[in-house]
Amino acid sequence: MQNYLIWTLILAVLAVAVAGAVLFARAYLGGTSPGSLLFRQKTARRLEVIDQASVDAKRRLILIRRDDVEHLLLTGGPVDLVVETGIAISPSPPQTAEVPPPIKEAPGWRRMPTFGRAPEIDKDPGSREL
């Protein structure tokens, strides 16, 4: 039983060594570093779904973008159909800064409660009685 475990471990180590050697040889022959083969950046996606809407229970309208051109497709019926192609991307509307809500008038100062009564709020702190 122990012989099988040892040989399996040796086989796994050899497989990792061979994979590393192949990776190193491929990088060396390609003129790059081995790390660049493992951790290269992803290329930009050329196709994306922009919007979709249900027409009925079976059919859907799908707006897709490919290489900065949009296409409108009708799918789900007996035949998929290109409704419109070559739709130019409209420039996004200018971002307007949101107007902050108006600031409410700050409440006046509060008197200290006197023996369990609720505090009273004065609107004019200058008319305070002593």
∠ CA 24-30-35, nearest 5°, is 45
For 43-52, 70-79, 89-98, which range has the lowest pLDDT when averaged over its residues?
Answer: 89-98
Please tell me which residue, 119 or 40, carries the higher pLDDT value. Answer: 40
Q: Tell me which of 6 and 87 has the higher pLDDT.
A: 6
Is this structure's pTM higher than 0.85? no
Question: CA 57 → CA 54, 77, 114, distances in Å?
Answer: 7, 10, 69
Percent of the chain with pLDDT over 70: 67
pLDDT tens column, 6-40: 999 999 999 999 998 988 888 778 777 777 766 77
Output the pLDDT for position 53. 92
Q: What does the alpha-carbon distance between residue 81 and residue 51 come to, in Å, rounded to a whole number? A: 16
